[in-house]
């Protein structure tokens, strides 16, 4: 982070200097008293279950330069840096991030979607890095705390900032947009994640579109044109009904549509990677990717489209994407050489769309029987049973060879598979130990096993058990 003085911070966040001279200079941001260090500005964030003010006694002299608090009584007497009082420390963090975004003044790319936004963020950062100094969201720091921390960790020579924007409720992306103010945005897709928080699927669609809230004729939205509702934005743009430009990316399944980029000839290669071609009105280029599921080639197309906006050539984009590395627990194929089986670890999280994507990837993998081990999907509310059943019927009808479920909600996945009446083995478990033990006895050489569920189910423990 470019150096900012305590006085400057206080001024920009609308705070009051209550301790120190205000001349201390911060070069990094911290929200964890255990790791705060010299040179940091520490924000004492207060949430539902945690209040960092209760740990300010750890911030003695030398542990950081500036602290931002809403409760001045908690400032340690032996803290010799500067302390700034604000009414809301989370709001102050966002305000400082917006100020710093404008201070460094990079071009900003904002990315959202129900499934695959982290993959697209990583791809976009790789593509743009061929030409520019790029800073991007680490992991999935995509909420009202993670996004400001991403911005405030940006080096002052950053030319392009790529940020991921997540949401659970209406209005959340809108707040992130006010902080980051993207010049270019991309929507990967619109699914049914967090369905319990919306009155309808249209509500989810409208919430994703909040990413264009500050757009005018100088802004560009890149869309997945295979998504029917998103493609409607292209139609609206062509009809002069939008105040910003739209670039569409489609697969060859929608070749007859009005596309700007098309992803063609996608096929798996040895080792589980992908090969495909991307073309626009002027050229075509071949691409190769490591394993990352059914969304990878389309996401590559979206990243190429974003790169094209900033004059990155397709050839450079193809070279960059060869270096794509997989995020932890996201469609990672792991070999158990002793048992001669392959485990696809996709345990990071789950919603109906990503579940179906994971199943499709499982079925496309090389190997013997295709076994799905699926757990609960959270945040689906009253629609949960139907959506879980839909995943189960999809798995059975698409051709998995066996289905095992874990968790109370996942019983509906099993029910949906049974209704499909395909005759595959289906078994439900309430204990991970029992699931692991049964699966180890069931599998045979050459089998490929997908393990997936929502984050709270910690299905990586099943992966670890199958590897032992």
Tell me how far apart the alpha carbons of residues 120 and 300 are, in angstroms, rounded to a whole number. 7
Q: Whose CA is closest to 178, among 199, 154, 151, 204?
A: 151
User: What is the sign, positive or negative, of the torsion defined by CA atoms of 200, 206, 211, 214?
Assistant: negative
pLDDT value at position 183? Answer: 98
CATH topology of domain 4-89: 3.40.1390
pLDDT value at position 239? Answer: 86
pLDDT value at position 48? Answer: 81
pLDDT value at position 382? Answer: 84
CA-to-CA dists, residue 82 to 17, 27, 63, 157, 424, angstroms: 7, 14, 12, 27, 66
**To the nearest whole percent, how much of the chain has pLDDT over 90?**
71
* Helix (H) or strand (E) run with residue 402 in it: strand 402-406
pLDDT value at position 146? Answer: 94
Instruction: Show Cβ contacts of residue 171 under 8 Å, excluding neighbours closer than 6 positions.
Output: 207, 210
Residue 460 carries which DSSP code? H
Least-confidence region, from 147-151, 270-274, 456-460: 270-274
The yes-or-no verdict on residue 198 having pLDDT over 70 is: no
The b-or-e profile of 16-51 (16+ CB within 10 A means b, else e) is ebebbebebbbebbbbebeebeebbbbbbbbeeeeb
400-427, pLDDT tens digit by residue?
999 999 999 999 999 999 999 999 999 9
pLDDT value at position 62? Answer: 65
Q: Is the separation of the CB atoms in 128 and 182 below 8 Å?
A: no
Tell me how far apart the alpha carbons of residues 348 and 373 are, in angstroms, rounded to a whole number. 14
Tell me how far apart the alpha carbons of residues 182 and 108 are, in angstroms, rounded to a whole number. 5
Burial class (CB in 10 A: 0-12, 13-18, 19+), 309: middle
The chain-wide mean pLDDT, for the chain, equals: 92
Cα pseudo-dihedral 223, 226, 227, 230, rounded to 10: 40
Q: Is the separation of the CB atoms in 302 and 187 below 8 Å?
A: no
Residue 241 carries which DSSP code? -
Residue 50 carries which DSSP code? -
- Domain spans of the chain, in order of start: 4-89, 106-321, 332-467
Q: How far is CA 147 from the centre of its chain?
A: 12
Mapped onto helix, strand or coil, the DSSP state of residue 237 is helix
Q: How many CB atoms lie within 10 A of CB 383?
A: 15
Q: How confident is the model at residue 194 (pLDDT cuts 50, 70, 90)?
A: very low
Q: What is the total residue count of the chain?
A: 468
344-401, pLDDT tens digit by residue?
999 988 989 889 988 988 988 888 999 999 999 998 888 899 999 999 999 999 999 9
Averaged pLDDT, 140-151:
92
CATH code: domain 332-467 is 3.90.190.20
Tell me how far apart the alpha carbons of residues 284 and 262 are, in angstroms, rounded to a whole number. 9
Q: Whose CA is closest to 212, among 194, 236, 191?
A: 236
308-336, pLDDT tens digit by residue?
999 999 999 999 999 888 777 888 888 89
Please write down the long-range contacts of 352-355, taking CB distance under 8 Å and 24 or more positions apart: 352/191, 352/192, 352/193, 352/377, 352/380, 352/387, 352/390, 352/391, 353/114, 353/115, 353/189, 353/191, 353/192, 353/193, 354/115, 354/116, 354/191, 354/193, 354/452, 355/391, 355/394, 355/452
256-310, pLDDT tens digit by residue?
888 999 999 988 787 667 899 999 999 999 999 976 655 689 999 999 999 999 9
Residue ranges with strand state E in 59-117: 66-69, 82-85, 107-112
Instruction: Show Cβ contacts of residue 114 under 8 Å, excluding neighbours closer than 6 positions.
Output: 188, 189, 190, 191, 192, 193, 204, 208, 351, 353
14-62, pLDDT tens digit by residue?
999 999 999 999 999 999 988 899 999 999 999 888 899 999 988 865 6
The yes-or-no verdict on residue 125 having pLDDT over 70 is: yes
The yes-or-no verdict on residue 167 having pLDDT over 90 is: no
CATH code: domain 106-321 is 3.40.1190.10
Q: What are phi and psi of 255, to 5 degrees?
A: -65, -25
Tell me how far apart the alpha carbons of residues 409 and 404 are, in angstroms, rounded to a whole number. 13
Helix runs in 348-383, H state only? 352-364
Q: What are phi and psi of 51, to 5 degrees?
A: -130, 110
User: What is the sign, positive or negative, of the torsion defined by CA atoms of 67, 72, 76, 78?
Assistant: positive
pLDDT value at position 245? Answer: 97
Mapped onto helix, strand or coil, the DSSP state of residue 7 is helix
Residue ranges with strand state E in 152-244: 160-164, 184-187, 220-224
Averaged pLDDT, 134-162:
93
Q: Is the separation of the CB atoms in 393 and 370 below 8 Å?
A: no
Cα Rg of the chain (Å, integer): 24
Averaged pLDDT, 81-91:
96
201-224, pLDDT tens digit by residue?
777 888 899 999 999 999 999 999
């Amino acid at each position: 982070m470019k150096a900012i003085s305590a006085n400057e911070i206080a001024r920009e966040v609308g705070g009051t200097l209550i301790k120190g001279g205000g001349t201390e200079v911060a070069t990094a941001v911290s929200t964890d008293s255990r790791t705060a260090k010299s040179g940091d500005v520490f924000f004492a964030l207060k949430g539902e279950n945690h209040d960092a003010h209760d740990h300010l006694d750890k911030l003695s002299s030398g542990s950081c330069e500036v602290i931002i608090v809403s409760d001045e009584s908690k400032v340690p007497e032996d803290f010799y840096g500067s302390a700034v009082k604000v009414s809301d420390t989370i709001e102050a963090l966002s305000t400082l991030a917006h100020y710093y975004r404008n201070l460094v003044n990079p071009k900003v790319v904002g990315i959202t979607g129900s499934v695959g936004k982290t993959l697209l963020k990583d791809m976009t950062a790789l593509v743009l890095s061929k030409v520019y100094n790029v800073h991007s969201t680490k992991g999935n720091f995509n909420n009202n705390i993670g996004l400001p921390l991403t911005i405030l960790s940006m080096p002052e020579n950053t030319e392009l900032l790529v940020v991921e924007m997540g949401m659970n409720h209406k209005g959340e992306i809108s707040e992130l947009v006010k902080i980051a103010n993207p010049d270019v945005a991309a929507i990967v897709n619109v699914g049914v994640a967090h369905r319990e928080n919306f009155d309808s699927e249209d509500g989810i669609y409208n919430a994703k579109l909040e990413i264009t809230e500050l757009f005018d004729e100088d802004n560009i939205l890149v869309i997945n044109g295979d998504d029917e509702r998103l493609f409607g934005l292209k139609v609206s743009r062509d009809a002069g009904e939008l105040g910003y430009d739209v670039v569409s990316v489609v697969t060859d399944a929608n070749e007859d549509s009005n596309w700007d980029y098309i992803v063609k000839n996608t096929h798996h290669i040895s080792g589980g990677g992908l090969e495909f071609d991307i073309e626009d009105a002027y050229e075509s280029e071949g691409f190769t990717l490591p394993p990352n599921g059914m969304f990878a080639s389309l996401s590559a197309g979206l990243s190429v489209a974003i790169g094209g906006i900033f004059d990155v050539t397709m050839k450079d984009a193809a070279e960059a994407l060869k270096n794509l590395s997989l995020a932890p627990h996201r469609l990672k194929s792991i070999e158990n050489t002793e048992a001669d089986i392959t485990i696809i670890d996709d345990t990071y999280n789950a919603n109906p769309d990503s579940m179906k994507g994971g199943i499709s990837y499982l079925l496309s993998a090389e190997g013997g029987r295709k076994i799905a081990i699926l757990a609960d999907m959270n945040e689906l509310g009253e629609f949960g049973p139907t959506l879980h059943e839909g995943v189960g019927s999809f798995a059975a009808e698409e051709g998995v060879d066996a289905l095992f479920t874990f968790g109370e909600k996942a019983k509906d996945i099993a029910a949906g598979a049974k209704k499909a009446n395909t005759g595959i083995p289906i078994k439900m478990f309430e204990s991970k130990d029992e699931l692991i033990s049964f699966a180890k006895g069931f599998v045979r050489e050459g089998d490929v096993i997908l393990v997936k569920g929502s984050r709270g189910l910690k299905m990586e423990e099943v992966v670890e058990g199958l590897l032992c």
